[in-house]
Amino acid sequence: MALHSINELQKHFENALGLVEFSDRPTELYDPVDYILKLKGKRARPVCTLASCEMFGGNYKAAINQAIAVEIFHNFTLVHDDIMDQAPLRRGKETVHKKWDTNTGILSGDAMMILAYQYLQKASNDKIQSLLSSFNRTAIKVCEGQQWDMNFETSTNVSMDDYLSMIKQKTAVLLGEALRLGAIMANADEESQHLIYDFGKDFGIAFQIQDDILDLYGDPEKFGKSPGGDILAGKKSYLYVKAMERAPKMLKEELNQTYYSADLKAPQKIEKVKSIFDELDIKSRAKAEMNRYYLSAGIALNTIEIPENQKLVLKEFAEGLMVREI
């Protein structure tokens, strides 16, 4: 039987999520849940759950509840992170705490976490222990990652190890987890569960580094935003952390003065930081690191002992998310 394509899985997922009724009483609690879940994103995580389930020989329907769980959990983290980061917009729309208020954001987020567990547990008795252990381990890492990210904002000394560990926990492990849940639902063996998790985790890190590269070097027409947002926000991105690692003392000071200058105008600041990055050859080093993680993800996927043609859907999905022209 041919596996479903990513597009098909995306459609099936949207349909399934559309059937979920979140609009129970009190509406003040459930309207925000409905709102954030309907701000359609790529649905990368739940689609990974479904694709992983099919790759290991299951039908996507067997993992649909776990896919919903992953998407609700992910959206719970968005709602709470947006409060902590005081972000006004999410996917171009008002964030929950802006559209309603902070209390609503906190409580709706809490409810979403419980809803995620309600969907996660929709499985036979022999799978629940495995689903829960796996999910809980990842969920707590996601919280830890968010804490590291917040710590970095006020820290003057973020090492590359710290940075990689943060993005791994904050974003990459949930992608790995999404895939692992699909594997569990398809009765994949433990070794395969482990490998598909590693694939997702390493791919997630590669994707995050790419994100940091694109923020400065991406084609504005293609990505719909002007470059250098991370610099203007003073974000300790991969590029910044790498530059701080490589720069000699004097240049390090210059970089920091520029990066956190309150006087420089936006275009000048971006230009100056970029020239320091260029001097240190940061872009190509970031690309090299991104490629290392991408390669490592590929190795994990290759090592899984199932027919290669069953891996094609996920492989193409991953390839499609990586941008060639940077």
Single-letter amino acid, residue 192: S
Number of residues in contact with a second copy, rule: CB under 8 A? 35
| Least distance in angstroms from the C-beta of 127 to a second copy | 9
Residue 232, interface with a second copy (CB under 8 A)? Answer: no
Residue 159, interface with a second copy (CB under 8 A)? Answer: no
Residue 23, interface with a second copy (CB under 8 A)? Answer: no
Residue 7, interface with a second copy (CB under 8 A)? Answer: no
d(CA 120, CA 116): 6
d(CA 142, CA 155): 20
d(CA 60, CA 4): 8
Q: Binding a second copy by CB under 8 A: which of 26, 224, 248, 307? A: 26
| Least distance in angstroms from the C-beta of 324 to a second copy | 37
Residue 214, interface with a second copy (CB under 8 A)? Answer: no
Give the DSSP letter of residue 263.
Answer: S
Phi-psi region of 189 (alpha: psi -120 to 50; beta: other; left: phi over 0): beta
| Pair 261, 269: CB distance under 8 Å | yes
- Using the Cα atoms of residue 249, residue 251, residue 255 and residue 257 in order, give the sign of their dihedral: positive
Indicate the burial class of 287 (C-beta count within 10 angstroms; 0-12, 13-18, 19 or more). Answer: middle
Query: Which residue from 17, 165, 140, 119 is spatially nearest to 77, judged by alpha carbons?
Result: 140
d(CA 25, CA 208): 38
Beta strand ranges found along the chain (DSSP E):
89-90, 93-94
| Least distance in angstroms from the C-beta of 124 to a second copy | 9
Q: Which is nearer to a second copy, 174 or 304 (CB)?
A: 174
d(CA 90, CA 25): 25
Q: Give the 3-state secondary structure of residue 30.
A: helix
Q: Binding a second copy by CB under 8 A: which of 151, 159, 268, 302? A: 151
Residue 21, interface with a second copy (CB under 8 A)? Answer: no
Look-up of token digits 């098909």: 8
Q: Which is nearer to a second copy, 26 or 307 (CB)?
A: 26
| Least distance in angstroms from the C-beta of 159 to a second copy | 15
| Least distance in angstroms from the C-beta of 123 to a second copy | 9
Residue 140, interface with a second copy (CB under 8 A)? Answer: yes
Q: Compose the 92-121 pattern: x for residues touching a second copy by CB under 8 A, - for all others.
A: -----------x--xx-xxx-xxx-xx--x
Show the DSSP H helices in 155-281 as ranges. 160-167, 173-185, 190-217, 220-223, 229-232, 238-246, 249-259, 266-279
Q: Binding a second copy by CB under 8 A: which of 20, 132, 232, 264? A: 132
| Least distance in angstroms from the C-beta of 320 to a second copy | 32
Q: Compose the 33-72 pattern: x for residues touching a second copy by CB under 8 A, - for all others.
A: ----------------------------------------
| Least distance in angstroms from the C-beta of 56 to a second copy | 21
- Residue ranges that bind a second copy, judged by CB under 8 A: 25-26, 28-29, 80, 83-84, 103, 106-107, 109-111, 113-115, 117-118, 121, 125-126, 128-129, 132-133, 136, 139-140, 143-144, 146-148, 150-151
